[in-house]
Structure 1
């Protein structure tokens, strides 16, 4: 009886020790997460860019023969120079649009034409729309005074979105610098990733999982974000050379809808129509239309080359990742979301296919 009692006490003491250790570990993990959580998006995007750009670093090292640190610094500087192009386009577009609105308001020449009488005959919305439009044409200051709260809310929302875009670009630059630091220690980082995956999944599956995650990150980052960025540059340059109003904002819209896997023609076709309506069918407008239309379709050629390298990620996964990432983390989440969801998708199906012998549906049916 006494040995049994001693064994029960030893078991209880051992269980208590395990629970205390588990509790302390949980508290430590939660505390570390709280400290690190503000930097999660920044570090995720840094690692994604480092993994994506590392093959380029290897090629340049073979050609130029410099150390990893110097090549990584060169890649970061060139990337920052390339990123300044869309930022300049966006900044000048916003500045020109604000200046035009201010000039128009100060001149007092802004005028709204009265609505046609046929609008009042439209079902449901005809009469309210006709009355609102007529008041705007005859008494715009009074109408503005009436909707000041709504205008204020919309203006604050737009300013908030613009501030979010600016913060996203700032995070982008910081992430690029951190990615350069990560690439400078690329070999050690690769070994650490394999060690972590091996510790979680075993020495056999660890390297395989690391290779799968790396291939998925590179394929989606190049095939989704990279193609959208190339399209934005091609189309944005055409908009600027043609003098399209709001060229920077339109180029940013091309980038966003490209990441969300929507066709760039949603932006390019209305712009082409606008150019023909305002400037007519001249040689310049015809060349511009052909160039912009082809640039809007370049993703159909690049996607099979970049997105299909070694992984098969369905487009709905990329779309959900882009939308969910943007809702969760703003503009930077638009880039991180598709990549991380694609990695999770690939790991899930790797786990599904990696069933132990004798546990599949066919094996169960044979027993």
Structure 2
């Protein structure tokens, strides 16, 4: 009789727990992205917070605030600076297109010298950039045909940018509380995880922090540093829109041979334009930066914390971005790490259950 009574009570208890979790997820859904980013950043920079907290014993609020300021300075500040320079490059490109539309721009001397595509590029340049009012006419035709779509797209982009800025500031606000109360939150999560998963909890949770730090260090920080170095290199060599192209080169560096291909194209343009020395410096130094960042530093940082093959890291990055957006850049590799832990756990369990291991 007691067994029959326990089953309905257990089912009701489980449904009650599920309802609480679902209701909380619905209420927090507008803030989940910011909370997730804050949790990722807090985990990645937790050793830094521990050092700062050690210098300010008994002052959890001050230590958390100082750590949040340092993280904001290290991550947000440089990103804003990079975005400002990229906007300047975009404005410069816009001014060039406006000049081409007003009075036309002659075909540069180096364009016909490009192998294979030279004639096609010259014809396209003459059609759209050498003849005044061609760009405005093309845009006017496009706007007339799809004015509603353009207006909707512009409004969506503006709202998306405002949402991203709000998410960023909210994530920094949440970050302060995670640093202040992180230790107690971690203790409670370990208790709940141990109660629910038993011995399975420890191997999973022990792999999460190093995997997150490796993903942040190997993907975000290395890519940002690579973008800054390549932008400075491009600017020194006289490349047009150096920050925009440097950032593009760092972003496409995950694709095999994409960044070296872009460097080769830019070097060829400089060479055909009569800047042979700058072309050699750009190609050699750029290749060195890409090789060191993408084939040495990044794999060492990621594999050192995740123990994943670099190909699996790439799958995790691209799959995460496609399915979850920008946050998938970090979550994707971490999920693959947990998958590896699961396979290790399953293989060990199977090994212990075999007759040979029992005997």
From 177, 189, 196, give the equivalent of 1:193.
189
CA distance in 1, matches of 2:239, 2:151: 24
From 276, 285, 291, give the equivalent of 1:291.
285
Give the 3 Å change call, closer, same or farther, for CA 333–61 of structure 1 in structure 2: closer
- The offset of 1:287, in angstroms, is 4.0
CA distance in 1, matches of 2:299, 2:13: 51
From 348, 355, 363, give the equivalent of 2:342.
348
Kindly indicate whether structure 1 or structure 2 has the higher relative contact order, using CA contacts under 8 Å at least 6 residues apart.
1
- Describe the SS at the equivalent of 1:307: helix
* Aligned 8 A contact 2:89 2:242 in 1: no
- Describe the SS at the equivalent of 1:313: coil
- The offset of 1:286, in angstroms, is 4.3
Give the 3 Å change call, closer, same or farther, for CA 198–344 of structure 1 in structure 2: same
Match of 1:271 in 2: 266
Q: Deviation digits for residues 176-225 of structure 1, max 9, x if unmatched?
A: 443343223343233233223212221x4433332122222222222233
- The offset of 1:20, in angstroms, is 4.4
Q: Deviation digits for residues 273-326 of structure 1, max 9, x if unmatched?
A: 3333445123x5544444332222222221353223253123343333333333
Q: C-alpha root-mean-square deviation of aligned residues, in Å?
A: 4.3
From 208, 218, 222, give the equivalent of 2:217.
222
List aligned pairs for 1:245-264, cutoff 5 A. Answer: 245-258=240-253, 264=259
**Structure 2: segments with no counterpart, 5+ residues:** 108-115
Which range moves more in the overlay, 269-278 or 221-230? 269-278
CA distance in 2, matches of 1:95, 1:108: 21
Match of 1:91 in 2: 84
From 178, 200, 208, give the equivalent of 2:174.
178
Which range moves more in the overlay, 346-355 or 143-152? 143-152
The structure where helix makes up a greater share of residues is 2
- Describe the SS at the equivalent of 2:349: coil
- Describe the SS at the equivalent of 2:306: coil
* Aligned 8 A contact 1:90 1:247 in 2: no
- The offset of 1:34, in angstroms, is 1.3
TM-score normalised by the chain length of structure 1: 0.72
Give the 3 Å change call, closer, same or farther, for CA 225–55 of structure 1 in structure 2: same
TM-score normalised by the chain length of structure 2: 0.73
* Aligned 8 A contact 1:50 1:183 in 2: yes
CA distance in 2, matches of 1:29, 1:240: 52
From 35, 41, 57, give the equivalent of 1:43.
35
Larger Rg: 1
